[in-house]
Amino acid sequence: MMDRAAIETDRLCLRPLVPADAGVLHALTDHPAIIAAISFLRAPFTLADAAALIATNETGCDVFRSIRRRGDEALIGGIGVHEQGTGALEIGYWIGTRFQRQGYAFEAASGVIGRVKTVFPETRIVAECRPENRASWRILERLGFRPTGMPGARPGRLVLALD
């Protein structure tokens, strides 16, 4: 699976989430808008849920990274890479509500995609998104993803693949 080395972009540092991140991850993620957008998050998203999500990094099938601003190290979101049974890798992300609309999701996803292409150059990269989630859909399109016409594994989502 993905390596666990830090990924740095102009404004961000992306590192695997660790148990010490659980409290901040919980506070950032336990918001109705975030929980509604990510199918595997429960409402309410508890401290125990945050710890369980971080623990999935040990399975090797998922790598969840913190999205942190360089300089102040503020945890502003999360981004994951997930093995798909089809041989593809799926990316997904969320940004805390007070940090949205500042280009962080695009920047973080660009960094992760760059690393995936370096480590797994022949691997197909996909994402699932609800068409009504216009903000995320636009980010994926800007990254080069295109709709495949296939339904996602999660209800109401469509699969987009990187060109």
Query: Is residue 2 assigned to a domain?
Result: no
Query: Is residue 14 assigned to a domain?
Result: yes
Q: pTM here? A: 0.94
Q: What percent of the chain has pLDDT over 70?
A: 99
List the domain range (segments joined by +) for residue 83: 7-162
Query: Is residue 150 assigned to a domain?
Result: yes
Q: Is the pLDDT of residue 140 over 90?
A: yes
Per-residue pLDDT at 163: 84
61-96: per-residue pLDDT in tens? 789 999 999 999 999 999 999 988 778 999 999 999
Query: Is residue 1 assigned to a domain?
Result: no
Query: Is residue 18 assigned to a domain?
Result: yes
Q: What is the C-alpha separation between 66 and 76, in angstroms, rounded? A: 8
102-120: per-residue pLDDT in tens? 999 999 999 999 999 999 9
116: alpha, beta or left? (left if phi > 0; alpha if psi -120 to 50)? alpha
Number of domains in the chain: 1
CATH number at residue 104: 3.40.630.30
Average pLDDT over residues 125-151: 96
Average pLDDT over residues 53-67: 89
Is residue 65 a contact partner of residue 112, using CB atoms and an 8 Å limit? yes
